[in-house]
Amino acid sequence: MKTRLKKFVSFLLTSVLLALSASALAAGNIKIAIDAEFGIPNATSAQAVRAGAQLAVNEINAAGGLLGRQLEVIERDNRAVPARSLNNLRELAADPDVVAVMCGRYSPVVVEMLPEIHRLKLLMLDPWAAADSITDNDFSPNYVFRLSLRDSWALQVMMRHALKQGYRKVGILLPNTEWGRSSLKAAEETASKDTRQDIVAAKWYNWGDASMIEHYQALRNAEAQAVIFVANDKEAVILVREMAKLPPDQRLPLVAHWGLTGGQFFEQAGAAMKSVDLSVVQTYSFIGKTDAKTKSVLAGLKSITGSDDPRKVVSPVGVAHAYDLVHLLAMAIKKAKTTERTAVRQALENLGPYKGLVRPLDKPFTAKRHDALSINEVFMARFATDGAIEPMLKTKP
C-alpha cells in the first residue's frame, strides 16, 4: 500500500511539474508591439522607435529578462491608416503575451484609436505622436502613457523662437487633421497669453496635396514675417523645393514642427535646403552628450543600425523616447509582478525614480499626469550640412 501511495504521489508531482513547465513554455516571450507607419515611403520614425525599443529589450534580456521570461519586439504596419491600426490593435490585444503597444508619429491615427484602446484595455505607449488629446483623453482609467512632445509645448517653443528672431507677425501652415487643429489651438493660446504675437493668417492643406506654394504665398501676402509650419517630411519637401525657386526676398523663415524629422526630409529636399531658413523643434539629441548612459546607448545602437556616430542617428527623438519607455514598462512589470495589463497600467502610475536617457525622472507618471516629459526638454534645432539635426543655443524669450 505504501509503495502504491509513493508511486501515486510521485506521479502527481511529476504531472504538476510537467503542467507548470508546459504553462511556462506556452507563455512564451513577453511581447512589446509597435503599431506604426513602417510601410510609408521614406519613413524613418517607425524604424527609429523600433531601434530604441529593441536596444532596451536587448539590455533587459542580457540582464536576465523579466519574471523569468525574455522580451520580444514585434511590429505591425498601419501605414498611418486608422482602419489598419484598428485591425492591428484588435489582433494584438487578443494575444495574452502582448503587454503593451507602441504607436508611431501620426497623432490622427492614435486619437481615432482612443475609444478602441480603452475598450480593449490595451496599454498604449506613445514615443512620438504629439496631439495633446492623446493623453488628455478623458478616459478613466487612462491606458495611454507618453514620453514625447505635446503640441502645446512645441508651439510655445516655436512661437517664442520666432519672437526671439524679431518676428511679431506670423502665418501658420497646417494639415487639416487633428494634429493641425491641436497645433493651431496651442499657437493661438501662446500668442494671446504669452508672446503677444499676431497670427496674421492660418492656411490648411490636405495630406497628398501636390503643391503648397499657394497657401504659402497667401501667408506672405497677409504680411507674415515668418511661417509656423506643421508638416511631415513629404509636405515639407514640397514646400522647401517650391520656396527655393522664389526670389530670395520672398523666402520667409520656416519654424517647423518635428514631423518632418520622421522621414528622409533632408535627403529629399536636397540642394533646396541651402536656400531656405528652416528650424525645427526637438526634445533630444545625441550630439554633444558625453555621459556614460549616452555612450552606452550609442554603442548598443551600433549592433542594431551599424553606426554609433551621434550625428548619424536617424530620427533621434524616436530612438530615445522608445528606449526610455521600454525601460519604464519593464519597471512597471517588475513592480506589478505580472504582465497583466491592468496591473501594469496601475504600476506605471506609481513608479519610482528612473535615470532616463532623455532626462532623469523622479516620478515618470501619476494618475493625473500621463506625460513623462515637460516643456523644459523642448528646444529648436537646425539641419547641418551633413543632415545631422543640431540643437540651437537655448535662450530665454
Reference 345, options 123, 71, 135; nearest CA is: 123
Question: Which CA distances in Å does 311 have to 280, 315, 336?
Answer: 16, 11, 38
Question: Cis peptide before 141, with omega less than 30 degrees from 0?
Answer: yes
pLDDT tens by residue, 99-142: 999 999 999 999 999 999 999 999 999 999 999 999 999 999 99
pLDDT tens by residue, 16-70: 334 433 444 446 999 999 999 999 999 999 999 999 999 999 999 999 999 999 9
* DSSP states along 161-193: HHHHTT--EEEEEEESSHHHHHHHHHHHHHIII
Query: How many residues comprise the chain?
Result: 397
Q: What is the mean pLDDT of each run of 10 residues along the chain (397 residues)?
A: 48 42 61 98 97 98 98 98 98 98 97 98 98 96 98 97 98 95 95 96 96 98 98 97 98 98 98 98 97 96 96 98 98 98 98 98 98 98 98 64
Reference 241, options 283, 208, 213; nearest CA is: 213
DSSP class of residue 43?
B
Strand 379-383, strand 278-282: pairing: antiparallel
Per-residue confidence (pLDDT) for residue 380, from 0 to 100:
98
The helices-and-strands tally (H runs, E runs) of the chain is 12, 14
Handedness of CA 303, 304, 310, 312 (dihedral sign): positive
Per-residue confidence (pLDDT) for residue 4, from 0 to 100:
53
Per-residue confidence (pLDDT) for residue 393, from 0 to 100:
74
Block residue for cell numbers 497645433? 183
Reference 60, options 346, 359, 328; nearest CA is: 328
The answer to whether 36 and 45 are in contact (CB under 8 A) is yes
